[in-house]
Amino acid sequence: MDRRSLLKNLGMVSLLPFGRAGWAYAGDGPAPAGKRMIVVMLRGAVDGLNVVVPHADNDYYAMRSSIAIPKPGTDGGALDLDGHFGLHPALAPILPLWQSRKLAFVQACGSPDPTRSHFDAQDYMESGTPGVKSTGTGWMNRALGTLPQRPGMLEAVSFGPVLPRIFSGPGAVANVPLGREASRATAMDKAEINEAFDRMYADNGALGDAYREGRKSRQQILTDLSDADVKEMKEADNGAPSPKGFALDTAQLATLLQRTPELQLAFMQLGGWDTHVNQGGSKGQLANHLQPLAEGLALLANQLGPQFDDTVIVVMSEFGRTAHENGNNGTDHGHGNVMWVLGGPVAGGKVYGDWPGLSASGLHEGRDLAVTTDFRTVLARVCEQHLRLPDRHLDAVFPQAPRTGAGNVKHLLTA
C-alpha cells in the first residue's frame, strides 16, 4: 500500500497540516542530507504487555481478568501480528506500517537495573548508564557530539518547555515550544528589544549561551513554522478538526525535518502511562492514550515522505508493569517492557527479542516480565547501523553497554 492510499484508508487525509510540507511536498523536497533518529519517550511506564499482547500465552489471560486484550478476531480483540503477539486495537493507525515491514517491536526489553522508581529508571534510560547516577550528560547529547559538526545549524531538537535529561550536555539543542504558540510573534522578535538584550547577554556564561541558542532557534523556527504555513494548514484542513496534541507536535516535527536537512536528532515525550487504577482493556484509559500516540506516529511517517526512508523512530518507556493486574483493575511498577522501532531502514513486521514467557518461573522476581534484551542494545544498534557511529563513539555514547548477546536484534535494521 502506498502512503497516499494508506492515509485515505486511515481517514486522515483531512488531518494533513502544513499543506506545502504534506503530500504535495513529497515529490520536490530537498534531498535528505543525513540519517535521522527520533526518540519518543513514554514517561510513567507504559504497560507493554497490553501494547504488544502475548495473546497465544494462556498465562496472560489468567493474570489479567479485567484488563486483558481479547484474542484476535473477537470483539475488541488484539490485531494479530505473528500468531503469538497482537497489537492493542487502539494502535490500528500504525498497523499499516507493520504490514509494510517498517515497524518492529523488541519484547521483554529493558534495563539491567532492577529499580522500580520511575525517576531513577527514566534517569538511567536518558543517561544511558543504568545504575550510575553521576553521569552528567544524556546519551542523545553524547551521540550529537559524535556526529559531523555543522556549526550554526540546528542539529538536534526537543519538544516541550524544558530540556530533557537525555539531551543534557555540551551540544547545542533547540527546544521547540508545543502547539500553535510556536509561531506567534513576541516581544523578543522585535529588533530594538532583542538588540538591547543582545548587549546585556554578550558573553555571560551559561545564561548567555542559552540566550544566544534560544534566539537562534527562535529565528529558525519562525522561518520554518511561519504564519503562512499556519494559514495554509487551516486551508488544507477543509474545515475538519485540526490535529491536536501529539499529532500537532509530530506534524511540526515533520515540517522542521523537511526544511532543516542538518537536523539529525529529535526527542519527544508523552506522559500519563502510570495506570495503577482502571487501566482499561481494549477501551479505556490506556487505549485513550495509545490512540493519539499511534495517530501522531502515523502522521509523522506519512509527512516525512521519502525522508522516512532515512529515519528511525524509537518509542521507549522506563520499565514495564506487573504481569498480574493489581487490586484496582490496574497494574503496578514492573520490569521488562516492549520497545517500538519504526522507519525506512527497519526490518519490520517482526517481534524481536527472546520471549521469556509469563509462567511463574519465567517472571522476574515472580511478578514482572523479565528483561532479555538490554535497552542499550537496541539503541546502540540504531546508532551504529543507522547513524553510522564507529565503535569508539559507541563506547562513549553507551559506556559499559553489552556488545554481545544481541540475539536476533542484530537483524533489526536492514542496513
Partner 1 sequence: MPRIALCAITLTLLSFSGLSAADPAPGQQTEQKALYALDRLGYGPRPGDLDRVMAMGVDAYVNEQLAPEKIAEPPELQQRLDALETTKISTADLFRDYGPPARKAAGADEDARKKVEQAAHHVAEEAQQARMLRALYSPAQLQEVMTDFWFNHFNVFRDKGIEGHIWVGAYERDAIRPYALGHFRDLLGATAKHPAMLYYLDNWQSSVPHQDKNGDLKGGLNENYAREVMELHTLGVDGGYTQKDVTELARILTGWTYLPRELEAGTTQPFAFDPKRHDFGDKHFLGKTFTGADSDGEEEGERALDLLARSPATAKHISYQLAQYFVADQPPPELVQRLAKRFRDSNGDIREVLRTLFHSKEFWDAAGSEGKFKTPYRYVVSAVRASGINVINFKPLLGALNQFGMPLYGCQTPDGYKNIESAWLNPDAMVYRLNFANALGNGNLPLYQEPQAAPAAPMAMGGAMTGGMPVSMNLAPQTPAPGPQNKPPPPDPMVLQATLGNPFSLKTSEALASAPPRLRAGMILGSPEFMRY
Q: Can residue 244 be called a binding residue for partner 1 (CB under 8 A)? A: no
Find the shortest distance in angstroms from Cβ 85 to partner 1.
27
Site for partner 1 in 27-56 (CB under 8 A): 43-44
The whole-angstrom separation of Cα 227 and Cα 6 is 29
**Quick check: helix, strand or coil at residue 360?**
coil
Distance in angstroms (rounded) separating the CA atoms of residues 279 and 285: 5
Query: Does residue 130 touch partner 1 according to CB under 8 A?
Result: no
Contact letters for partner 1, residues 51-90 (x by CB under 8 A): ----------------------------------------
Q: Does 215 bind partner 1 (CB under 8 A)?
A: yes
Task: Tell me which of 193, 228, 240, 360 binds partner 1, using CB under 8 A.
Answer: 193
Give me the least distance between CB of 222 and partner 1, in Å please.
Answer: 11
* Contact stretch for partner 1 (CB under 8 A) within 102-110, 304-312, 327-335, 350-358: 327-335
Q: How many residues bind partner 1 (CB under 8 A)?
A: 57
What is the C-alpha separation between 76 and 166, in angstroms, rounded?
36
151 is a contact residue toward partner 1 (CB under 8 A):
no
> Per rule CB under 8 A, is residue 333 in the interface with partner 1?
yes
Q: What are the backbone dihedrals phi and psi of residue 206, each rounded to the nearest 5 degrees, phi first? A: -60, -40
Interaction between residue 402 and partner 1 (CB under 8 A): no
Instruction: Please state, in angstroms and rounded to a whole number, the distance separating the CA atoms of residues 329 and 68.
Output: 10
Environment class of residue 162 by beta-carbon count within 10 Å: exposed (0-12), middle (13-18) or buried (19+)? exposed
Smallest gap, in angstroms, from Cβ of residue 225 to partner 1? 14
Residue 288, interface with partner 1 (CB under 8 A)?
A: no
The reply on whether position 222 binds partner 1 by CB under 8 A is no
Secondary structure letter of residue 71 according to DSSP: P
- Is residue 163 part of the contact set for partner 1 (CB under 8 A)? yes
Instruction: Quickly list H helices, 69-170.
Output: 95-99, 118-127, 139-146
Pairing outcome for strands 86-87 and 79-80: antiparallel
Q: In what order do the strands lie in the sheet with 86-87?
A: 52-53, 86-87, 79-80
Q: Does 211 bind partner 1 (CB under 8 A)?
A: yes
Identity of the residue, 25 or 167, whose beta carbon is nearer to partner 1 in the bound complex: 167
Q: Is 240 in the site for partner 1 (CB under 8 A)?
A: no
Which cell numbers hold the place of 298?
A: 502515523
* Residue 170 binds partner 1, judged by CB under 8 A: no
The window from 53-61, 68-76, 320-328, 342-350 that contacts partner 1 (CB under 8 A) reads 320-328
Give the Å distances, CA to CA, from 292 to 12, 88, 188, 215, 399: 12, 13, 33, 31, 35
Q: Give yes or no for residue 332 binding partner 1 (CB under 8 A).
A: yes
Chosen residue from 9, 149, 186, 414 binding partner 1 by CB under 8 A: 186
CB contact set of 67 (below 8 Å; sequence gap of 6+): 50, 279, 280, 281, 325, 329, 330, 331
The three three-digit cell numbers of residue 194, written as one number: 532583542
Binding residues for partner 1, rule: CB under 8 A, are 43-44, 115-120, 160-163, 168, 172-177, 181, 186-188, 192-193, 196-197, 199-208, 210-211, 213-218, 271-272, 274, 276-277, 326-328, 330, 332-333, 365
